[in-house]
Structure 1
Amino acid sequence: MVIELQTDLLSAARRAHQRRDWRASYEAFELASRQAPLRTDDLDAFAFAAWRLGHIKESSRAAERVFAELTRTDPAAAAMKANELALAWLVRGDLNIGQGWMNRARRLLAGTDETAAHGYLTYLEAAVAAITHDVDGLRARVGAMRELSARLDVPAVTALSLIAAGVEAILQARTAEGYALFDEAILPLVADQVPIEWAGDIYCMVLHHCHKLADLPRMRTWTQSMEQWCGLSGSVPYGGVCDVHRLQVRAATDDYRGLEDRLSRASRALEEVNSWAAAEGYYQLGEVRRLRGDFDGAATAFEQARTLGMDPQPGAALLACRRGDRQGAWTAIRVALAGRDRLTRVRLLRAAVEISLSRDALDEAERYCAELEADAAAFQTPGFRGWAAHARGAVLVRAQQFGRALEALQVALTEYRTQQSRYETAEVYEWMALAHRGLGHADAAAADAATADAIYAQLGVEPAGICGAPSPGGLTRREREVLTLIAAGATNRQVAQQLHLSEKTVSRHLANIYAKAGVSSRTAAVAWARDNAVLP
């Protein structure tokens, strides 16, 4: 009776696995395993289904048992299983354990005829080289993969070879070549010729580098492609990764009030599944909170990203600057810039210009701005070109070269429209308002400021202002707006309606105002504001 029951369960599990119904497959295999130990191939399928459903630890334990059994019966298959386990640990952010499994695969493959397993292992070596910024090691692995893929003629190995070559090209500022390689690599994925876990890693690699390049048009295209693939593959872990990348893209255009909770949930769900994606999600959450004026919440999110292995820069440095800690911001950004590869430095340079300007260090700002312009010319992405023109415009405004500043800022606007980067667009309008005011064009300055404020209101964020600039009473611009309406007799609900905020956000702003003013009531806060000339 027990044997018949297990046989029926195994038949159901295998059929479900064949049609990619991972939940039915997992549940049937799990019930069958209670009757008697699973065969190696069934245990492998069970591990596969468990991973698709996000049961990462259970999947890893089962896969390790499969590896142990294969080492006795099929060393070549054991080597491939070691590659898969290495990938799983690398994705979870543990380089040491990942490389330990790579060593096992390497030992099993030593002296054997060349197979696809050699190609997968070489790809993992290339991925580790990219993660650890070993440019020479990455170049060597790319060359080896190119030769391997030509000899083996295995579509999956060819796709992985193209991805590794694309990453190497991008890191060397050969952006167009890198994009072309990425586009070619997608073809075997579309043809379903790449195993799911490796296909998912390809998408993650591409989206990660598109994000680093600040190329939102390409990131939107690739995110849509990954979303379609996630739907077809039925993979819960990669579905979570899709969510994070989707929200990164939407941070350019969407109302931030709706993004905060979604980013928090997506990041938390990925912590034990894909620490790289989880860290990126927490970093984006920190940026959303920083721009909304929730400085304590931003600091918490940045620390969560740091715990998962990501240095939360430049967000943490810009947060310090917004809090008025210019020295701390300057130290943080200089430490972050030290020893970074050229591509990673670009995002930091943009913040370095802003922080230098907050310190009135114009020569320092000019030096960082010139480096940013050179990198934008080399990498040639719309995001980098927008950042460079934005930085140049800001430096020129501070140098009181207002006419030239407006020319640069117009270039930034054009690039940001291509990107659909609304927050950066609002920042540019603020700098244009300063430039027009410097030229004596009061009406144009007022129009620019109003445009910036309208965008900020639509996004539900704090107006940017000048990083580190002193504010009356230490209040942010949004806190002053809230207090002004409170002084006029508005209720929290009325304030929320007029400023397009939630009542919860208004309450948080009031709590911040009370803390800064050292008071505990609305009446006392209004009296403090009038005594300290905080209200307009």
Structure 2
Amino acid sequence: MLVEPQIDLLTVARAAHERRDWRASYEAFDRASVYAPLRIDDLDAFSFAAWRLGHVKEASRAAERVFAELTRTDPTAAAMKATELGLAWLVRGDLNIGQGWMNRARRLLAGAEEGPAHGYLAYLDANVAAMTLDLDTLSTHVRALRDLGERLNTPAVTALSLIIGGIEAILHARTADGYALIDEAILPLLADEVPIEWAGDIYCIVLHHCHKLADLPRMRSWTQSMEQWCGLSGSVPYGGVCDVHRLQVQVHTDDYRLLEDRLGTSSRTLAEVNSWAAAEGYYQLGEVRRLMGDLDGAARAFEQARTLGKDPQPGEALLACRRGDSAAAWTAIRLALAGGDRLERMRLLRAAVEIALGRDAVDEAETYCSELEIDAAAFKTPGFLAWAAHARGAVAVRQGRFDEAIAALQEALREYRVQQSRYETAEVYEWMALARRGLGDTGAAAADAATADAIYAELGVEPAGICGIPLPGGLTRRELEVLACVAQGATNRQAAQQLYLSEKTVGRHLANIYAKIGVSSRTAAAAWAHANDVL
């Protein structure tokens, strides 16, 4: 017989579970289990709450006990529980264990009447095919799941069939079709007709692919939607994913110094809960540190991403550039290009153009740029179109085709404004400055360079410089320009006028220059500039 304290605790636990207060539910069930073992439905609810609080191992053990009991009493329910466990392991990034649970579900469903569990299992099969880029198998699963959804007429299965159909369309470069299916799939989620764990997976997979497509406007919209959903569900695993995707968006607009700690915290929190999201977080942390000039910190973050299963490219290759090792950068990017999927390849191509130009391999840069343009035209997302125009402008500058370069770079600026991609906007202004210098318009060139510097300063980063060519003394490009003016005898006011800066900014740059090269006077700085060929 249940003792009275347990009855009271179970009442509290069940009520908390009903209102989605996972912490109160978990704690009350945990205390109730001290008096007597929980019955199967309460154990299932306890597992549910534990997982949402991030107690993954405890949740898995409880869910496996539920599964074992259900195999003796209700094989169809046991199959459904096996699909839930399969999903949980896939979310954690363990494909093998996830597929093991899927096979258990498949065995239990063999010969059973067709029902929702078949739909959830078919979704997982399609998801695995998408993760492994087995596009032919994915198409087969998408058709089967769509037919199954029509026969079952179950909102959750219908939503899953739409979402995986949208992902298939995106992977085949039918981006508009994919977005249309995804937008339709959101309706059952908004109506709360999809179980929380499956709704969370829908949000995650969509945001992941929006990020791969570099479609920041749509990613912002979906992130806001997921934030609202995370707030309702109170889920640590999916709430952490919300944080990572939010920070991926904010990296394009916010001060990097404020983002670094938040990325580190989110990534550490997710490491045992959702390894692919944690890996994405660590990779983004590496990128932030690379752009801030913390090269050792960037290397550590990229290694953490690798440990969690993500190849940290092109970040590591660009980090090698920042260290002045263009040969290592070139080797790394070419190896990555040999194995990247079509979407990931877009980021790699963008970096390959930059690295090739740094090596003066303009013909190779042209080849990669052309491939980038072809796929940008196929996918038609704002980010890809911006990258292609940016790359075309950079290549045209190096080829001496300055008018063509300015036209391409202005197109990139338009797309980056839609994206609100401030760092990339600054890079484009730097290339614009070079193109205008090539045309002899030094005033406009200086204005463009000053605009780039202002954006870099707001973001808290330093321009990377040319790949593989470390700047003398560790000085930034702007510091070198200030030093060159001073070495030629310019006053702070004259340097400010020449570089379109304020006198205060020139003074700040000069103080940084003195500290970096170890001098204390203008005369000594000028001598250092002459000795190091700064002029």
Secondary structure at 2:193's aligned position in 1?
Answer: coil
The corresponding residue for 2:55 is 55
Pick closer, same or farther for the CA change 1:483–1:74 going to 2, 3 Å. Answer: farther
Q: Offset at 1:468?
A: 2.1
Secondary structure at 2:282's aligned position in 1?
Answer: helix
The corresponding residue for 2:315 is 315
Q: Deviations over 1:305-328 (max 9, x none)?
A: 111000111111111111111111
For the 8 Å contact 2:519–2:525, the answer to whether it is kept is no
Aligned residue pairs total: 512
The CA distance in 2 between the partners of 1:347 and 1:478, in whole Å, is 27
Task: Summarize the alignment of residues 288-437 of structure 1 with structure 2, pairs less than 5 Å apart.
Answer: 288-437=288-437
Secondary structure at 1:370's aligned position in 2?
Answer: helix
The corresponding residue for 2:26 is 26
The corresponding residue for 1:132 is 132
Pick closer, same or farther for the CA change 1:88–1:529 going to 2, 3 Å. Answer: farther
The CA distance in 1 between the partners of 2:103 and 2:143, in whole Å, is 20
Task: Summarize the alignment of residues 101-500 of structure 1 with structure 2, pairs less than 5 Å apart.
Answer: 101-477=101-477
Pick closer, same or farther for the CA change 1:418–1:445 going to 2, 3 Å. Answer: same
Task: Summarize the alignment of residues 34-49 of structure 1 with structure 2, pairs less than 5 Å apart.
Answer: 34-49=34-49
In the alignment, residue 383 of structure 1 is paired with which amino acid? G
In the alignment, residue 324 of structure 1 is paired with which amino acid? G
Pick closer, same or farther for the CA change 1:100–1:528 going to 2, 3 Å. Answer: farther
The CA distance in 2 between the partners of 1:416 and 1:423, in whole Å, is 9
Q: Deviations over 1:481-529 (max 9, x none)?
A: 9999xxx9xxxxxxxxx779xxxxx99x999x5xxx8xxx8879x9799
The CA distance in 2 between the partners of 1:10 and 1:108, in whole Å, is 31
The CA distance in 1 between the partners of 2:321 and 2:340, in whole Å, is 21
Q: Deviations over 1:160-209 (max 9, x none)?
A: 10111000000000000000011000000000000000000000011000
The corresponding residue for 1:494 is none
The CA distance in 2 between the partners of 1:104 and 1:479, in whole Å, is 63
For the 8 Å contact 1:462–1:478, the answer to whether it is kept is no
In the alignment, residue 445 of structure 2 is paired with which amino acid? A
The CA distance in 1 between the partners of 2:34 and 2:126, in whole Å, is 41
In the alignment, residue 140 of structure 2 is paired with which amino acid? A
In the alignment, residue 411 of structure 2 is paired with which amino acid? V
Q: Deviations over 1:280-322 (max 9, x none)?
A: 1111111111111111111111111111000111111111111
In the alignment, residue 328 of structure 2 is paired with which amino acid? G
Pick closer, same or farther for the CA change 1:293–1:7 going to 2, 3 Å. Answer: same
Q: Offset at 1:6?
A: 1.1
In the alignment, residue 153 of structure 1 is paired with which amino acid? N
Pick closer, same or farther for the CA change 1:482–1:18 going to 2, 3 Å. Answer: farther
In the alignment, residue 91 of structure 1 is paired with which amino acid? V
For the 8 Å contact 1:473–1:534, the answer to whether it is kept is no
For the 8 Å contact 2:453–2:478, the answer to whether it is kept is no
Q: Offset at 1:67?
A: 0.6
The CA distance in 2 between the partners of 1:248 and 1:340, in whole Å, is 21
In the alignment, residue 449 of structure 1 is paired with which amino acid? A
Q: Offset at 1:338?
A: 0.9
The CA distance in 2 between the partners of 1:529 and 1:310, in whole Å, is 47
The CA distance in 2 between the partners of 1:29 and 1:122, in whole Å, is 33
Secondary structure at 1:194's aligned position in 2?
Answer: coil
Q: Deviations over 1:413-469 (max 9, x none)?
A: 000001010000000000000000011111010000000000000111012332223
The CA distance in 2 between the partners of 1:476 and 1:330, in whole Å, is 23
Pick closer, same or farther for the CA change 1:481–1:461 going to 2, 3 Å. Answer: farther
For the 8 Å contact 1:293–1:462, the answer to whether it is kept is yes
The corresponding residue for 2:494 is none
TM-score after normalising by structure 2: 0.91
The corresponding residue for 1:503 is none
The corresponding residue for 1:16 is 16
Secondary structure at 1:338's aligned position in 2?
Answer: helix
For the 8 Å contact 1:12–1:25, the answer to whether it is kept is yes
The CA distance in 2 between the partners of 1:89 and 1:326, in whole Å, is 40
Q: Offset at 1:123?
A: 0.6
Secondary structure at 2:34's aligned position in 1?
Answer: helix
Q: Offset at 1:24?
A: 1.1
In the alignment, residue 421 of structure 2 is paired with which amino acid? S
Q: Offset at 1:137?
A: 1.0
Task: Among all aligned residue pairs of Structure 1 and Structure 2, give the percentage whose two residues are the same amino acid.
Answer: 76
Pick closer, same or farther for the CA change 1:211–1:198 going to 2, 3 Å. Answer: same
The CA distance in 2 between the partners of 1:534 and 1:186, in whole Å, is 60
Pick closer, same or farther for the CA change 1:406–1:69 going to 2, 3 Å. Answer: same
Pick closer, same or farther for the CA change 1:411–1:478 going to 2, 3 Å. Answer: closer
| More divergent stretch after superposition (450-459 vs 319-328) | 319-328
The corresponding residue for 2:68 is 68
Q: Provide structure 2 residue ranges, at least 5 long, that are not aligned to the other structure.
A: 485-490, 492-503
Pick closer, same or farther for the CA change 1:174–1:510 going to 2, 3 Å. Answer: farther
Secondary structure at 2:425's aligned position in 1?
Answer: helix
The CA distance in 1 between the partners of 2:18 and 2:525, in whole Å, is 70
For the 8 Å contact 1:457–1:499, the answer to whether it is kept is no
Q: Deviations over 1:323-375 (max 9, x none)?
A: 11111111111111113221221111100111111111111111100000000
For the 8 Å contact 1:430–1:465, the answer to whether it is kept is no
| More divergent stretch after superposition (458-467 vs 420-429) | 458-467
Secondary structure at 2:339's aligned position in 1?
Answer: coil
Q: Deviations over 1:252-301 (max 9, x none)?
A: 11111100001000111000111111111111111111111111111111
* RMSD after superposition: 2.5
The CA distance in 1 between the partners of 2:300 and 2:361, in whole Å, is 30
For the 8 Å contact 1:390–1:409, the answer to whether it is kept is yes
The CA distance in 1 between the partners of 2:479 and 2:30, in whole Å, is 55
For the 8 Å contact 1:427–1:464, the answer to whether it is kept is no
The CA distance in 2 between the partners of 1:206 and 1:193, in whole Å, is 18
| More divergent stretch after superposition (319-328 vs 36-45) | 319-328
Q: Offset at 1:473?
A: 3.3
Q: Provide structure 1 residue ranges, at least 5 long, that are not aligned to the other structure.
A: 489-497, 501-505
In the alignment, residue 184 of structure 2 is paired with which amino acid? E
Secondary structure at 2:272's aligned position in 1?
Answer: coil
Pick closer, same or farther for the CA change 1:70–1:482 going to 2, 3 Å. Answer: farther
The CA distance in 1 between the partners of 2:221 and 2:309, in whole Å, is 28
